[in-house]
Structure 1
Amino acid sequence: MQADSGLLDKAVLIAGPTASGKSAVALELAQRTGGVVINTDSMQVYRDLRIITARPTAGEEALVPHRLYGHVDAGVNFSAGAWVADAANVLGEVRAQGRLPIFIGGSGLYFKALTRGLSAVPPIPPDVRDGVRARLEEHGVEALHAELGVRDPVSAERLKPRDRTRIARALEVVEATGRPLPDWHRDGLPPLLPPGQFHALFLAPEREQLYARIDARFGAMLDAGALEEVAALAARGLDPLLPAMKAHGVPALIRHLKGETSREEAAEIGRADTRHYAKRQFTWFRHQLPEFEWVAPEAAKEQLETLIP
């Protein structure tokens, strides 16, 4: 099945907090229109993390085409820029097939890059990244924040002094390119989907209902083998600063595997971290992407039928 010819220059964006029911909405839309579901979640790109990130099941993936799920190794420091490059290729393929692209996920930065563009920071050489990480471990985050204050004072002022990941990133950029991060932000890449080329929905469940769903889902993920999945990841001995190593629930479950906390305590930490993340998702999309139309999950199907007959 192909999308209606009038939709070939359009895309549908379905965002929302974790556990809001996005996957079911996207799957139904793809089945109805012959569309392709394209992952827009920064953790579901990792092949090592199917269960703990609640990726679509193999059965769901068999129903309609799914792209950019589980295509990156956990040892890769994957970025929004790398995702945009992959998404550009997929978008071209989907449009060439005459299908409707359906971007779904919860990563606000990915959606912002998709619709607003992205800074043109070049790839960071591995030796530069390794050197910054080594200094971070040896001297601590406060020392690197002070160094950043000299080399990129604008970024240092903007970042919290203990934000290890972003401080390291800002130092990597200035060290590799000789230019501070804000300079690169000014010279950005154009959006893949300019205004007028997409319909965008944000699924906004009632908060207490959402938090209950998050708690229940984390328990279901443990029952489905999330702990074993995390054990296999931990056995690889990867850099704990890698994005995959910070997926919600992963650090707490690794501490449990080391005997530092009980399974129940680790599960509650994972649930709490996920609830806090959902709260941040509401705030981020409200302030950063106001073009998204907020709808209750139960109303999303009807809304999409109006937008995409």
Structure 2
Amino acid sequence: MSGIENSGGQAGEGHVENAILIAGPTASGKSALALDLAERKGGVIVNTDSMQGYSVLDVLTARPTAAELARVPHYLYGHVHPSIAYSTGAWLRDVMKLIDEGTLSERPVIFVGGTGLYFRALAQGISEMPDIPQPIRDRWRYELREQGAAKLHRILLREDSAAGMMLKPTDGQRIVRALEVLDASGRSILEWQTARGRPLIDRDSARFFVIEPDRAALVERIEARFDRMLEKGALDEVKQLASLGLDSDLPAMKAIGVRELQAAIAGELSFPEAIERAKIATRQYAKRQATWFRHQLGPEWLRLRLGDRVGSTISDPLSSAT
């Protein structure tokens, strides 16, 4: 029997069969494509974007609206508090939990987002990493602020020379990561990285799509979308985030638009200048995403143009799945 209309997203042996992966840079229309496909195929959508997993930033991260969420089942959107440093490994464990619970069974499963490492982990697996207790995580981030990256690098060289020699003395985030893994587990991060995890999708039955929009059209979409974000309450979200008093190094605090709008609220920038800087940052991010997808995604990924409708305006490779 062929075609996802009949096969669904059965989770066999701990992985999803007939998965549909849709990647693309920010504002490229991938979420709309996923929603259209999910409605037509009776599928479910799983967030594959690191920022859309955080709560509070509904508008600023361009999460699906309440009306869109109601149209088909969506998973792993807004389920992580901004105080948590959510990782690729944590996302993969959340997907694994959905599989183990049977949530992704019997219906086509569409993974959509813009985080390349999530897609790589999904399709190839990643090294297992230990859970880091919050006190250990807090301790090393405090030490980074107080002592600086260079001093922590010397500590890492003393405690785990092999890992230390692979990192630059200025790479504070990776130095802290190596130290907290060593502290929490007693093992080098290099030992953990050698053990490759398992893919969570069946690659033979999966279908891979990546949107490659025209640059000029994407820039127009980015600028118009940020204006809509402001109209829909992005500024209020930034104020709410600021009220939590979180560490500025946390991933959620680095969402595009947060720093710029916070500066405008504080009077450090005019609002027009802050808005322009946020749009520029979004364009730069989209360019980095597009470059990563172009060089890191293999030939199994079908390249789409902005506005393509899988199964309608182009030949539907999904119908040939076996």
Question: Could you report, residue by residue, the CA deviation over 1:176-229 in whole angstroms, capped at 9, with x for unpaired residues?
Answer: 223332321111221101421311111010112212211221121112110111
User: What are the residue-to-residue correspondences of 1:157-168 with 2, within 5 Å?
Assistant: 158-159=166-167, 161-168=169-176
Counterpart residue number, 1:308: 318
Q: Is the 8 A contact 1:38 1:102 kept in 2?
A: yes
Q: Which moved more, 1:182-191 or 1:158-167?
A: 158-167
Q: Is the 8 A contact 1:117 1:190 kept in 2?
A: yes
For the residue of structure 2 that corresponds to 1:299, the secondary structure is coil
User: What are the residue-to-residue correspondences of 1:104-115 with 2, within 5 Å?
Assistant: 104-115=112-123
Are 2:308 and 1:299 aligned?
yes
- Return the match for 2:76 from 68, 77, 94: 68
Query: How far did residue 270 of structure 1 move?
Result: 1.4
CA distance in structure 2 between the partners assigned to 1:151 and 1:208 by the alignment: 50
CA distance in structure 2 between the partners assigned to 1:160 and 1:270 by the alignment: 29
Query: How far did residue 46 of structure 1 move?
Result: 1.0
Counterparts in 2 of 1:155 and 1:220: CA distance versus 1, 3 Å:
farther
CA distance in structure 2 between the partners assigned to 1:265 and 1:120 by the alignment: 43
Question: Could you report, residue by residue, the CA deviation over 1:155-191 in whole angstroms, capped at 9, with x for unpaired residues?
Answer: 5555554443333222212232233323211112211
For the residue of structure 1 that corresponds to 2:112, the secondary structure is strand
Structure 1 unmatched runs, 5+: none
The alignment of Structure 1 onto Structure 2 pairs a total of residues equal to: 307
Q: Is the 8 A contact 2:54 2:77 kept in 1?
A: yes
Counterpart residue number, 2:272: 264
CA distance in structure 1 between the partners assigned to 2:166 and 2:74 by the alignment: 37
Q: Is the 8 A contact 1:14 1:200 kept in 2?
A: yes
CA distance in structure 2 between the partners assigned to 1:11 and 1:35 by the alignment: 10
Q: Which moved more, 1:226-235 or 1:185-194?
A: 185-194
CA distance in structure 2 between the partners assigned to 1:34 and 1:187 by the alignment: 37
Are 2:145 and 1:144 aligned?
no
Q: TM-score w.r.t. structure 1 length? A: 0.92
Counterpart residue number, 2:257: 249
User: What are the residue-to-residue correspondences of 1:40-59 with 2, within 5 Å?
Assistant: 40-59=48-67
Amino acid at match of 1:175: D
Are 2:86 and 1:78 aligned?
yes
CA RMSD across the alignment:
2.1
CA distance in structure 2 between the partners assigned to 1:13 and 1:286 by the alignment: 15
Percent sequence identity is 47
Q: Is the 8 A contact 1:151 1:180 kept in 2?
A: no
Q: Which moved more, 1:297-306 or 1:100-109?
A: 297-306
Query: How far did residue 256 of structure 1 move?
Result: 2.0
Counterpart residue number, 1:206: 214
Question: Could you report, residue by residue, the CA deviation over 1:124-151 in whole angstroms, capped at 9, with x for unpaired residues?
Answer: 1212111111111111223323433444
CA distance in structure 1 between the partners assigned to 2:251 and 2:107 by the alignment: 32
Q: TM-score w.r.t. structure 2 length? A: 0.88
Query: How far did residue 261 of structure 1 move?
Result: 1.6
Q: Which moved more, 1:171-180 or 1:54-63?
A: 171-180
CA distance in structure 1 between the partners assigned to 2:224 and 2:164 by the alignment: 39
Are 2:96 and 1:88 aligned?
yes
Counterpart residue number, 2:12: none
CA distance in structure 2 between the partners assigned to 1:217 and 1:164 by the alignment: 33
Counterparts in 2 of 1:185 and 1:286: CA distance versus 1, 3 Å:
farther
Counterparts in 2 of 1:264 and 1:189: CA distance versus 1, 3 Å:
same
Counterpart residue number, 2:244: 236
CA distance in structure 2 between the partners assigned to 1:289 and 1:158 by the alignment: 26
For the residue of structure 2 that corresponds to 1:70, the secondary structure is coil
For the residue of structure 2 that corresponds to 1:48, the secondary structure is coil
Q: Is the 8 A contact 1:165 1:241 kept in 2?
A: no
Question: Could you report, residue by residue, the CA deviation over 1:49-92 in whole angstroms, capped at 9, with x for unpaired residues?
Answer: 10000000111111111111111111122111111111123245
Counterpart residue number, 1:123: 131
Amino acid at match of 2:5: D
Counterparts in 2 of 1:142 and 1:256: CA distance versus 1, 3 Å:
farther
Counterpart residue number, 1:35: 43
Amino acid at match of 2:78: G
Are 2:175 and 1:174 aligned?
no
Structure 2 unmatched runs, 5+: 10-16
Counterparts in 2 of 1:255 and 1:146: CA distance versus 1, 3 Å:
farther
CA distance in structure 2 between the partners assigned to 1:306 and 1:13 by the alignment: 14
Amino acid at match of 1:269: R
Q: Which moved more, 1:9-18 or 1:275-284?
A: 275-284
Amino acid at match of 1:256: A
User: What are the residue-to-residue correspondences of 1:13-32 with 2, within 5 Å?
Assistant: 13-32=21-40
Counterparts in 2 of 1:211 and 1:143: CA distance versus 1, 3 Å:
farther
Query: How far did residue 122 of structure 1 move?
Result: 0.7
